[in-house]
Amino acid sequence: MDAPQMKAMTEATRLTREGRLAEATALIQQTLGRPAAPWRMPDAPAAGEETGSIPGRNSDPLPVLPAGRGTPPAPPAGQGTKARRAIPAWLTRRRTFPSRDGETLVRPNRPATPAVKRPAGRFETFSYADAAGTRTYRLYVPSGHTGDPAPLVVMLHGGTQDAATFAAATGMNDLAERQGFLVAYPEQPSSANPGKFWNWFVPGHQRRDAGEPSLIAGITRQVIERYGADASRVYVAGFSAGGAMAAVMATVYPDLYAAAGVHSGLPYAAAGDMASAFAAMKQGSSRPAGSAAPSVPLIVFHGDRDTTVAAANAAGLIGDVLAAASPDGGPGTPPPVVTTGQVPGGHAYTRTRYEDPAREALAECWIIHQGGHTWSGGVAHGSYTDPRGPDASAELIRFFDEHPARSE
């Protein structure tokens, strides 16, 4: 980021804090319209080092609860961690998430949860540390959890957000309470990125067992171990910069996550420094599809009027999955199944489902027409939410239910 861009980002932050969101948005969009001077990010940032931020529309985050330390309490005796293997056939098993036919769309939208109503489970703060540094995270444990193996969903927030803000915006804790799964929310501190963006565009944070991926994976494993989560039903999803980092996690840890979800994000390795990050956000990744592709099933959501992260990135994410499914250039997948719909009083959308020769879903892409850089179907007045869209949170869980980990 060159000096004028840095100055503009500082001014946009000030405007946002004063509640002048329209002015801040206009300034950021104007800044994105000019080329950034080349500036290479450090290849392997030290723990806690500031590494720059990717600008986007700011919002007023909810208050952050004081961060606690330590690890979650151990589960009841006898609840250990299951071994995990990734092998080419899908495992057919009983599901914990409510099952739905893959051809049937769920309710396109849910009423916003009243602000005074909160799920009855525990929402606590913990921390995890390794050689890459320390990250706090919030963990939602539904009230009915007894220590029996349950699915785990890891949710990665967007820039300017925190774990509590993201949980409230997506309504994921409410779903977890009703359906009985765990949700972990790793949190990016401003010490690692001034805007609290995950550093998805830095090469040192695009590798297995290094940087932020190692911390997110460590948090995931800590929850699996301490709560006896079902290691065959562990998933990762994120929004914006968190969506881009979810793509990183799906690519470098396919043995840890059974499937992934990316909302308004970018493909893995779409950028290698700040300048290429701006370019990818505006135009999509220039990297050839399949050259660095996730090998787990993927569901993607993107608004076709997103001016912060171009919708071309959704096509790049899907292209990577399809290329990975046929790496030798052999016979392609069957024709995609396209379904259109309309949220009553809200947005129209197109869902495209891509299947392998056995008719198992490799990927889904939801394009929300007239949708912007927001979480589709999120709660009203939430951070980066649009309740007029199809319910991305419910669709994520439905897709994850269809994809337990691959086994022999």
pLDDT digits 0-9 by tens, 176-228: 999 999 999 999 999 999 999 999 999 999 999 999 999 999 999 999 999 99
Task: Give the tokens for residue 154.
Answer: 């890891």
Confidence of residue 287 (pLDDT cuts 50, 70, 90): confident
pLDDT of residue 207: 96
| Whole-angstrom distance, CA of residue 145 vs CA of residue 177 | 9
Gyration radius (Cα) of the chain, Å:
20
pTM: 0.75
> Cα separations (Å) of 165 from 127, 140, 156, 176, 215?
18, 13, 11, 16, 20
Spatial neighbors of 197 by CB under 8 A, at least 6 apart, are 53, 54, 56, 158, 159, 188, 241
Q: Would you say 379 and 386 are in contact if contact means Cβ atoms under 8 Å apart?
A: no
Mean pLDDT computed over every residue of the chain? 79
Q: Which domains does the chain have, with CATH numbers?
A: 68-407 (3.40.50.1820)
When pLDDT is averaged across residues 24-39 and rounded to a whole number, the result is 48
User: What pLDDT, in 10s, does the model give residues 356-400?
Assistant: 888 899 999 999 999 999 999 999 999 999 999 999 999 999 999
Confidence of residue 295 (pLDDT cuts 50, 70, 90): confident
Confidence of residue 174 (pLDDT cuts 50, 70, 90): very high
One-letter identity of residue 332 = G
Q: Would you say 141 and 103 are in contact if contact means Cβ atoms under 8 Å apart?
A: no
Neighbouring CB atoms inside 10 A of 177's CB total: 20
Residue with tokens 């850089």: 373
Choice among 44-48, 95-99, 303-307, 366-370 with the minimum mean pLDDT: 44-48
Dmax over CA atoms of the chain, in Å, equals 59
Task: Give the tokens for residue 39.
Answer: 């500036």
Distance from CA of residue 274 to its chain's centroid?
20
| Whole-angstrom distance, CA of residue 50 vs CA of residue 215 | 16
Percent of all residues in the chain with a pLDDT value above 90, rounded to a whole number:
62
Residue with tokens 């420094």: 273
